[in-house]
Structure 1
Amino acid sequence: MFDGFQEEQIDTGEASVFVRFGGEGPPVVLLHGHPRTSSTWHRVAPRLVEAGHTVVCPDLRGYGRSRGPRFTEDHVGYSKRAVAGDVVAVMKHLGHRRFALAGHDRGGSVALRLTLDHPEAVSRAAFLDCLPLTEHLSRITVEFATQWWHWFFFAQPGIPERVITADPDSWYRGDADAMGSENYDEWRQATRDPDVVRAMLEDYRAGLTVDRRHEEADWDAGKRITCPTLVLWSLQDDLEDLYGDPVAVWRRWATDVRGHGIDSGHHVAEQAPAELARALTDFLQPAPGDSDSDRCSPGREDDDG
């Protein structure tokens, strides 16, 4: 996987973030979802490099080989605001002050938070098979509660850790043929680590508490995404069935939105990598200002902070 990419463990202050990066050209960050790691992009990232991009794939805080702070009752250490801060710090370390962003599933929630908290850093944002957390929660139906019950199970204190770690292979049910053997092996190693399992649960616990409050505050304050926005969703998953047109939902949050469905299951980067890479490549055509002029000195803060 990731032939020609470099790997680095980057200290962001609160966290230690494992990242893969490679290529040359305008930078794009790919943020994975639950319960994957950055290796989920192994069929997409090389295609984006071939299209002329620098591609950065981090493990989210607590996932895979990344590590975060101690767990607390308020879940703030695993909030999307904290994880978004990791991404900004990683990109500054690698020499990029401005970049495009694509987030899948829980990575999409991080991408939303990063775009709202750091609009100056994001040139374009793509959201894959996800909606803002508050849009899900404000539309709860019997169908949602039945199909997405894990959100509320994961929020329970202590219980899901014991259930999942008792037999993680049965709980997560990966498929080596569909995922690719190396991706599967990395994912399986991560999901058998009790600390990773706990961190992934903290992600969901933060989603229902501190992350929800942050989104509600932004909505009330009128904060919206102003950069070009792409919405993609999996036609074999349930997002469109539950909510209708996802683009229409995202237009409540962004001023310049386009999008379409992809014939795939939920893990689109693994199941439809060529179509996803084409859609991202078309969307990521650099606009004026999204070039090397946005680079900073690697490994240190900019002079202007």
Structure 2
Amino acid sequence: MTWNKVAERLSPDFTVVCPDLPGFGQSFIPADSLDSRHSSKRSKAHALVEMMRVLGHDSFHVVGHDRGSLTAFRMAMDHPATVRSLVTIDGLPVLEHLERADWKFANAWYHWFFFAQPEKPERAITANPTAWYDKLSPELMGAEAYDDLLDCIHYPAVIHGMIEDYRAGLRIDHIHDREDRKAGRRIRVPMLCLWSLRDDLEEIYGDPVAIWRDWADDVAGFGIDSGHHVAEENPAALAAAIKNFLEIAAPR
């Protein structure tokens, strides 16, 4: 799994739970709807908060990367009494992505708009899943995690679940973000914003911390020397950043 190298570094000091992001693994695929509401970050946040409650955790810290950061943000926004702190990695609110989209975004992140189309993304990926996800490897992820990935991406239902996450972004998630902004709702708990220095988030948008300050009261952040897959490429630096934040800014 993506987080195994980070989790093993955090587990001596924290209880670590690494669930599948709904739709991205074989444990749970949200139901379909015309507006993708069941794949919305709001729906996924509710599901993960309920999962943690069943596991006996009525409050907890949340960490999310990329698509997971969108659900983590929604967990903190919608469940302020439950989420004690928030860490996002390589992510911004969906609305910020869309309102700031320009030719650089469209060129680098074209898949957002391709994945929003009906049926064709699933056909393209299921025709040759390993060719589509060719940037991942056993050398990067570890053999066991890579084998798990290969297993997942050869299930059409999982591919569909992942694509629906993107469709929800363009169909309903940005509406939820806009409603929060209009109502003045903000992240009130401590927040850490991290990003990969050898990825393009900062290049396309500028300082991610400055953007997050429009959404959160108490946010700090910095870049980590890594490509996009930071949990696999530089787990030591990522784990250290998370641990330091939780111990200083948001103690247990």
Q: How would you bin the TM-score normalised by the shorter chain?
A: over 0.9
Residue in structure 2 matched with residue 71 of structure 1 by the alignment: 32
Greater length-normalized contact order (CA 8 Å, ≥ 6 residues apart):
2
Q: Structure 2 CA distance, aligned partners of 1:180 and 1:232?
A: 23
> Could you tell me which amino acid in structure 2 is paired with residue 152 of structure 1?
F
Structure 1 or 2: more strand by fraction? 1
Residue 155 of structure 1: which of 109, 116, 136 is its match? Answer: 116
- Using the size of structure 2 for normalisation, the TM-score is 0.97
State how far apart, in whole Å, the 1-side matches of 2:60 and 2:200 are.
Answer: 30
Residue pairs, 1:1-305, within 5 angstroms: 39-50=1-12, 52-173=13-134, 174-285=136-247, 291=252
Task: Give every structure 1 segment of 4 or more consecutive aligned residues whose post-TM-superposition deviation is greater than 3 Å.
Answer: none
**Distance in 2 (alpha carbons) for counterparts of 1:279 and 1:91:** 23
Please report how far the alpha carbon of residue 65 of structure 1 lies from its aligned counterpart in structure 2 after TM superposition: 2.0
Shift of 1:62: 1.9
CA distance in 2, matches of 1:114, 1:107: 10
- Contact kept in structure 2, 1:97 and 1:121, CA below 8 Å: yes
For 1:283 and 1:273, locate their aligned partners in 2 and report how far apart those are by CA, in whole Å.
Answer: 15
Mark the CA change 1:164 to 1:283 in structure 2 (over 3 Å): closer, same or farther: same
Q: 1:286, CA displacement in angstroms? A: 6.9
Deviations 1:111-144 (Å, cap 9, x if unpaired)? 1111110000011100001111111101111111
Aligned residues: 251
Deviation at 1:68, TM superposition (A): 2.9
Whichever residue aligns with residue 242 of structure 2, its letter is: L
Cα RMSD after superposing both structures: 1.2
Judged with a 3 Å threshold, the aligned counterparts in structure 2 of structure 1 residues 280 and 287 are, in CA distance, closer, same or farther, namely closer
Aligned partner of 1:114: which letter? Answer: M
Stretches of structure 1 lacking an aligned partner (at least 5 in a row): 1-38, 292-305
For each residue in 1:137-180, what CA deviation from the matched residue of structure 2 results, as whole angstroms up to 9, or x when unmatched?
Answer: 01111111000000000000011111110000000112110111
Is contact 1:115–1:125 with CA below 8 Å preserved after alignment?
yes
Give the Cα–Cα distance (whole angstroms) in 1 for the partners of residues 73 and 57 of structure 2: 19
8 Å CA contact retained: 2:199, 2:228? yes
Q: 1:260 and 1:194, CA in 2 relative to 1: closer, same or farther beyond 3 A?
A: same
Match of 1:24 in 2: none
In the alignment, the residues of structure 2 paired with residue 287 and residue 135 of structure 1 have an alpha-carbon distance, to the nearest angstrom, of 26
Once the two structures are TM-superposed, the CA of residue 70 in structure 1 deviates from its matched residue by: 2.7
Aligned-partner Cα distance in 2 for 1:112–1:200: 18
What is the rounded CA distance, in whole Å, between the counterparts of 1:68 and 1:170 in structure 2? 23
